[in-house]
Amino acid sequence: ELKVEQNPLFLSMQEGKNYTIYCNYSTTSDRLYWYRQDPGKSLESLFVLLSNGAVKQEGRLMASLDTKARLSTLHITAAVHDLSATYFCAVDMRRDTGNQFYFGTGTSLTVIP
């Protein structure tokens, strides 16, 4: 069964600092997604990474995908308080009956002023 692991699970960082969240998965997949979730809310799509070497950037967040290493990273640049949330990566697995997402454990990010 596919396993998706994120680290760290909890991250507390000061405003203005940089940090990277890692997402490792155990089986070949060509598609990886990053989602943000605020407390008590649903999941907001951040990035869709569709191929090896893909890099996407939006504001202070940048995501990359290395399918050979089965690794995706979410890099935070000059963090601000508004980025405080839980971030999930999800691997899109093709199956005979269709696609299915496997979510990582999540990284709870707190940005401290």
- Residues binding other proteins (CB under 8 A): 4, 33, 35, 40-45, 48, 88, 90, 92, 94-106
Residue 78 CB, nearest approach to other proteins (Å): 27
Toward other proteins, which CB reaches closer, 11 or 88? Answer: 88
Q: How far is the CB of 79 from other proteins (least distance, A)?
A: 22
Q: Would you say 68 or 95 has its CB closer to other proteins?
A: 95
Burial of 42 (0-12, 13-18, 19+ CB in 10 A): exposed
Structure tokens at 101: 């997402």
> Which residue, chain included where needed, has tokens 């290395």?
66
* Closest separation in Å from C-beta 105 to other proteins: 6
